[in-house]
Amino acid sequence: MDRADFVAGFAKAALNAGAKALRIESVAYVKAVRPVVSAPIVGIVKRDLPDSPVRITPFVSDAEALADAGADVIAFDATDRPRPASVEELVRIIKARGKLTMADCSCLDDARRALAAGVDFVGTTLSGYVGGPEPVDPDIELIAAMRQLTPYVIAEGRIRSPEQALAAAQAGAFAVVVGSAITRTEHVTSWFNEAIAKAYNGANRETVLSIDIGGTKTMAALVSGSTVVEEIVVPTARDAGPDAWLSKVAESTANWRNRYERIGIAVTGFIEGGHWSALNPATLSIPDRYPLVDRVAALFGKPTFAVNDAQAAAWGEYRFGAESGDDLVFLTISTGIGGGVVINGKPLLGLAGHFGLIRSPSQGQAPFEDQTSGRWIASEALKAGHPIDAVEVFERARNGETWAADIMSLSAHRAATLCRDIQLMFDPDVIVIGGGIGLAEGYLDLMRSHLSGMSPRFTPRLVAAKLGRRAGIIGAADLAGEGK
């Protein structure tokens, strides 16, 4: 439905039902709608830029073209990020054309700066979209806080129901924008599908003890469907070995023993026939072909299912997370790099998805993760004379230190190139990005920028993981319950 005639039809239908204004993307669509409606039009242009995370009306020329096309209000990204044109410049040019301005903000500070620059409206459009996992609900608190600065607050972002629109209005919004809930039928269908799936598959699902053993910590949780009922986290004593790790979990969860009937366990490395092997000992060293399923079943006395942690996370995101029901590839970029693939409703297990171990980018010299992941970022920082971890490198990059930004950009470029290759291998509907590096502020935007200019058919659609650190335990629990 991404055609001018559909957009014009949606516009007229919305106005006939009582909408008071329209927010329309692209100069072409503003031109198409302007002759057939008299309502105010908020115009935007979206671009993916190689050198800036700003996507909404980034250039002065975009604002001018929207004004010429007939937009009454011109909206633009007003976040405090590297940008082609300043907020002040955009405001000046737009007002010179006799148009009103709307600042799409991510936080209260963005709104303060925009109002100081002379904007007419401030919106919550970009709240939750400038780093980290994308939230599910609208930012009602930000609406209320902005209302203390100006009466002209436009609530926008993740408003999916009449109840949420009402809450936004009650928080002080001057106007409320509803987008995908009206115009994106594939999104609305997925929301209903998720709700119905939970009713049929989740409400009566048994509680599972789910365990996720990582390189620094081990999480154990009681999981029912997508709900984490209770959880604990214990350190992973790397040198102690898997027998000790499992004993520690058994000791820590002893009072849960009568609350679950089966166990799902997610681990870094390779699972085959219930045996656990390390594929990259630098992440976590374990004995080759450790009989994980047998040891867990004997220790806890319950049926057990074991799976690689990234494959479990992929299944969790598929069932309950970022893109429920779509074919997807999950890519976790953290200390190392892992992945999982779900195609035609089935998780690919075994070696599938261990993208961090591919060697073609290095001509066979080293695993891909050794040139991209958090370990690599820290090692590159050390070479540059900065003995700091990846988190600090990102902080230095955000503070404008060129050496850090270069490391961050190169890592994101390599990860984006991997995603391009994955798109050609599996042609998934979406690639979900997770992990401490993948979800670090600005990293996903950098990945997208390195994919700009590609043909849309070949460009992977990248989205942030929704379940965060719980994706693996939720996925492992669901797989254990399904008996995969």
Structure tokens at 327: 């074919």
Co-location of 451 and 332 in the same domain:
yes
Co-location of 362 and 262 in the same domain:
no
Co-location of 334 and 405 in the same domain:
yes
Per-residue pLDDT tens digits for 424-447: 999 999 999 998 899 888 899 999
Per-residue pLDDT tens digits for 373-388: 988 999 999 999 999 9
What are the residues facing 371 on neighbouring strands? none
Co-location of 400 and 339 in the same domain:
yes
User: What is the Cα gyration radius of the chain?
Assistant: 24
Report the distance separating Cα 126 and Cα 156, nearest Å: 8
Per-residue pLDDT tens digits for 201-246: 544 568 899 999 877 788 999 998 888 889 998 888 878 889 999 9
pLDDT band at 187 (very low <50, low <70, confident <90, very high): confident
Does residue 323 carry a pLDDT above 90? no
- CATH at residue 213: 3.30.420.40
Per-residue pLDDT tens digits for 441-465: 889 999 999 998 888 888 999 998 8
DSSP-based three-state secondary structure for 9: helix
Q: Is position 188 within any domain?
A: no
Report the distance separating Cα 353 and Cα 224, nearest Å: 26
Mean pLDDT confidence for 111-138: 92
**Helices 292-300 & 242-252 angle (0-180, nearest 10):** 30
- Tell me which long-range contacts 110-119 makes (C-beta under 8 A, separation of at least 24): 110/78, 110/79, 110/80, 111/78, 111/146, 111/149, 111/150, 112/149, 113/78, 113/80, 113/87, 114/78, 114/87, 115/149, 115/150, 117/87, 117/88, 117/91, 118/88, 118/91, 119/78, 119/87, 119/91
Co-location of 162 and 40 in the same domain:
yes
Q: What amino acid occupies position 362?
A: S
Q: Is position 10 within any domain?
A: yes
Count of domains forming the chain: 3
Output the average pLDDT for the chain. Answer: 90
Per-residue pLDDT tens digits for 240-274: 889 999 999 999 999 998 889 899 999 988 898 89
State residue 325's pLDDT score: 63
Whether the model clears a pTM of 0.75, i.e. scores above it, the answer is: no
Q: Is position 411 within any domain?
A: yes
Structural domain containing residue 416:
322-465
Buried b / exposed e over 103-116, threshold 16 CB at 10 Å, is bbbbbbebbebbbe
Does residue 280 carry a pLDDT above 90? no
Q: Is position 201 within any domain?
A: no
DSSP-based three-state secondary structure for 244: helix
Give yes or no for a contact between 121 and 102, defined as CB atoms under 8 angstroms apart: yes
Q: Cα dist. 269→282, 298, 317, 383, 453 in Å?
A: 11, 22, 19, 28, 36
Per-residue pLDDT tens digits for 36-55: 999 999 999 999 888 899 99
